[in-house]
Amino acid sequence: MVGTTRTAAVALLFTSLALTGLSVVEAGAEPVRPTAPRAARPTLGQGVPVQLVGNSRGDLALLARDDDFVLTVRTRRGPNGDWSTPHVLARGAASLVMDEAGVVTVVRNVPDGLWAETMRDGVWDAGGLIAPATSISAPSLEVNEDGVVVVAVRSAADVSVQVVRRLPGQDWGEPRTYTRTMPGVPTGGATRAPKVTVDPGGAVTITWPVSGTGTYTSREWLRMATPFGTSSEPEVVDLTDPLDGVGAVDTAVTETGEVVVLWEQEHDGVSTVRSLSRDATGLLTAPRVVATESAALDVIALGAHANHEEPAITWTEEQEVDGGPSVVRSLASRRTEDGWSDGQVVARAEGSDPASTLGASVLSPRGAGGYLAVWLERGAVQSRELWVGGATTWGPTRETLRSDSTWSTSLAGWRVYQAPDRVDGDVVWSMENIEGDLYPTFDYLYHARLDRTPPVATITSPTTVRMARQRPMAVAWGGTDASGIASYDVLLRSATADGAFGPARNWQTRTTSTRATVAGTRGTTYCFAVRATDGSGNVGPVSAERCDAVPLDDRDLRRRGRWESTRDRAAYGNGLSASTRRGATLSVPVLARRLALTVRRCRTCGKIAVTVGDRRLGTIDLAGRAGLVTHVLLAAGQSEARGTLEIRVLTRGRLVQVDAVGASRA
C-alpha cells in the first residue's frame, strides 16, 4: 500500500466562465403581469390637476387648483418618494417647471405683474416681481437641462409681449418687450399668449399670434422672436402672411436646438394644421400642411413634442357626420426625412358627446426612443406606445392604467423618466366622485406611479466553474427594481461529463428567497439563470448563465494496470488513486469545454501523459514540493475535447497519485 502525505487544501478553479444565454428558457409557467389595481385611496386631496412636470431621475412637481380656484404645488423626490405638503400660491393663472437638479420655479400672475417663486431642497423662497406685465392667461414657462429658465407672457395693459430669463445661479434679468408697433411690418398687437422655448445652448425663442389694424383689420398671423439668441439671428420674423385667422399654437425644441412650431390656420373658410421648424442657425423651413379640415371638422387641441431629435405632433379633431353620431379622434404624426407622416389614430370616440367621452391626450417622450401616449376615455386612464424601437406604426393594443367608478374630468400630465433604460412614468388626473356617501361629489386628485420597466436579476453565485469538496453546491441570486422584487424564477440545466445539456427547467419558481443549494452529482455541470417579477407585475429578462461543475473523483475513473486506493483527508473524496507501474492508465469518457486534473506532487514522484482520443493535452511531471496541485488541461476558447480522457503513467517505480478530474461542458 502506498502511504499518504501531509494534508493540503484542494480546489480546482477554471479560468473565468464567459456568460452565455440559455438555449431553452420557456419551461414551466410564465409569470403573468397582473391587471392594474384601482387608484389607491386616499387621493392627493380635493382639486383638479393643472400641470405636472418632472426630470429624468423621477422628481415631480404638481400644480393643482381646488374648487375655490386656489393654486397649490406639491413635489416628490425620486420615483419612490412621498408627496410634500401642498405649497399654497393664491388664485390666478400660473405655470411651473423643474430642472434636472429638482429645483422648481413657479411664475404666476398678480395685480402688479409677474411673480416668481423658487423651491430648492424642499424650501421655498419669498418670491418677487420679475416683470410688470399683467395678464389673465398663464405665462409660458420653460427650462433646459442646464437650468436656464425663461418666461413669456402677453400683457393685457398694452397688448405687448414680455419675456424674462434667469441663468443658473443668477437673479432674473430685465424683461424684454415686444410692443404693438414693429419696424418694417404691419402694425399689430398680441392677441393670444405666446409660446416660449429654450434650447440646450440657452437660446430662447418666442412665437405668438398678432392681429392687424387698418388694412389688416381682423387678420392674424404668426411672429417669432429670438430675444436671447445669437447676433446673426433676426430679432423678429413673420412666419405667415396676414390670414383670416390663426388658432391654437404650440412649440417644442429638440436636443439639437431645432424649434418646431405647430398651429391651426384658417383662410377662405378652410382650416389646416400646419408646421414649420427653425434650426439652431436660424434657418426656417417653409410651412407644411399636416392636416386639412373640412367644413364639418374642428380642431379641439394640438401639441408639439420633441424626443431628442424626433419631433412629433398631436391634434384632436371632432367631425360632425350627417345622419350619424359625431366622432372625435386623437391623432399623432412624427417627422421623417420625407416630412410629417400621415396622421395615425391614437384613440377614437363617437356618440352624442364624444368630446367628453374622449378627454385630454398627453404625449411624453421615452428616453430610449419613441413616445408614450396617455388619455382619458370613458372614465379610465388609457395608454399606448408610439413608434417604439423605430417602428413606423403602432398596434391596436392599449393598456388601461387606472379605472374607477368615478368619472374622469381632467388629465394633468404623463411624465416618463428619461433614463435610457427606463420607461417608467407618472400620471395625475382628477375624477368627480359619484360614490354616494363614501366621498362628497367634488373633484379629487389621483396619482399613479406607472412602472413599465422590467426588473434586472443576476446569479451572484457561482461566479466561476470550480471544483470544491463542499457539497451541496450553493447558489445565490438577486435583483434590482424601483418597485421592488416580488419573486424570482431560477432556471437550471445540466450535463454529464460526456453528455450534452438537457433543456432548462424551473428549479425555483416564484420564490422570494435569494439562495438555495443543489446536491450535485459528481461529473455534472450545472448552469443557472434567473428572471424576476417586480411589484408591478413586470417580468424581467432571463439573466446570463453562471455555471459550476462537480468534479469526477478518482474512484469514477476506469483503472487499467496496477492501482491502489489510498486514504487522504485533504483529497477530494478523501482518497487518491496511486500507482508506480509504467503504462497503468485511468480513463473516462468526456465531452468538455474545460478540463483540469488534480494530482499530488512529491519530490520523488513520476510523470504522466494526458490525452483525449488521439489529442495529447500534455505531460505532467509530479516531482516537486509535496502537495495537491491542479493543472488546467483545456481552457475556455479552445476546441472542445470529445472522446476518452486517458491518464497514463510514463515512469517505472516512481509514485503517481491522481485525485480528481474536472470536466465542464460550460
Tens of pLDDT along 150-202?
999 988 777 788 999 999 999 999 999 887 554 444 555 556 789 999 998 89
Tens of pLDDT along 354-378?
556 666 667 787 766 788 888 777 6
Whether residues 113 and 209 share a domain: the answer is: yes
Contact in structure between 72 and 86 (CB atoms under 8 Å): yes
Whether residues 573 and 493 share a domain: the answer is: no
Does residue 53 form part of some domain?
A: no
Instruction: Provide the 8-state DSSP code for 29.
Output: P
> Cα 490 from chain centroid?
24
Cell digits of residue 274: 400646419
Percent share of the chain, pLDDT over 90: 42
Contact residues for 126 (Cβ-Cβ < 8 A; gap 6+): 117
Residue 645 belongs to domain spanning: 552-664
- Say if residue 219's pLDDT is above 80: no
Contact residues for 125 (Cβ-Cβ < 8 A; gap 6+): 117, 118, 119
Tens of pLDDT along 252-270?
998 888 899 998 888 777 7
Does residue 293 form part of some domain?
A: no
In terms of C-beta density within 10 A (0-12 exposed, 13-18 middle, 19 or more buried), how is residue 426 classed? Answer: buried
The string of DSSP codes covering 309-326 is TEEEEEEEEEEPPTTS-E
Whether residues 529 and 658 share a domain: the answer is: no
Given this model, what pLDDT does residue 16 score?
31
Q: Residue 637: pLDDT band by 50, 70, 90 thresholds?
A: confident
Contact in structure between 259 and 276 (CB atoms under 8 Å): no
Whether residues 638 and 560 share a domain: the answer is: yes
Whether residues 596 and 462 share a domain: the answer is: no
Whether residues 618 and 525 share a domain: the answer is: no
Whether residues 232 and 101 share a domain: the answer is: yes
| Least confidently predicted of 70-84, 330-344, 476-490 | 330-344
Tens of pLDDT along 544-594?
999 999 999 999 999 999 999 999 999 998 999 999 999 999 999 999 999
- Residue 72 phi/psi, 5-degree rounding, is -140, 155
End-to-end CA distance of the chain: 38
Whether residues 544 and 573 share a domain: the answer is: no
Given this model, what pLDDT does residue 34 score?
39
pTM of the shown model: 0.68
Contact residues for 640 (Cβ-Cβ < 8 A; gap 6+): 591, 592, 593, 634
The β-bridge partners of 46 are 444
Whether residues 500 and 573 share a domain: the answer is: no
Exposure pattern of 122-133 as b/e (b: 16+ CB <10 Å)? eeeeeeeebbeb
Does residue 23 form part of some domain?
A: no
Q: How far is CA 44 from CA 72, 331, 376, 429, in A?
A: 12, 31, 19, 10
- Say if residue 250's pLDDT is above 80: yes
- Section 616-638 average pLDDT: 93
565-568 contacts: CB < 8 A, separation 24 or more?
Answer: 566/1, 566/2, 566/3, 566/4, 566/657, 567/4, 568/4, 568/5, 568/7, 568/600, 568/659
CATH for 168: 2.120.10.10
Q: Residue 27: pLDDT band by 50, 70, 90 thresholds?
A: very low
Among 632, 474, 485, 496, smallest CA distance to 546 is for: 474
Q: Residue 442: pLDDT band by 50, 70, 90 thresholds?
A: low
Domain endpoint, select from 206, 221, 239:
239
Element (H, E) at 531: strand 524-534
- Say if residue 345's pLDDT is above 90: no
CATH for 541: 2.60.40.10
Does residue 482 form part of some domain?
A: yes
Given this model, what pLDDT does residue 244 score?
72
Does residue 47 form part of some domain?
A: no
Q: How far is CA 560 from CA 557, 583, 587, in A?
A: 10, 9, 8
CATH for 620: 2.60.120.260
Cell digits of residue 253: 425644441
Whether residues 589 and 540 share a domain: the answer is: no
Whether residues 195 and 119 share a domain: the answer is: yes
Does residue 413 form part of some domain?
A: no
Cα separation, 368 vs 99, in Å, equals 20
Does residue 195 form part of some domain?
A: yes
- Say if residue 39's pLDDT is above 60: no
Does residue 603 form part of some domain?
A: yes
Domain endpoint, select from 191, 220, 239:
239
Q: Residue 336: pLDDT band by 50, 70, 90 thresholds?
A: confident
Strands 564-567 and 594-601: unpaired
How many domains, in total, are found in the chain? 3
Whether residues 226 and 157 share a domain: the answer is: yes
Domain endpoint, select from 548, 575, 603:
548
Among 318, 398, 314, smallest CA distance to 355 is for: 318
Q: How far is CA 166 from CA 94, 107, 139, 332, 577, in A?
A: 17, 12, 15, 33, 82
Q: How far is CA 115 from CA 95, 96, 107, 207, 296, in A?
A: 11, 12, 6, 22, 42
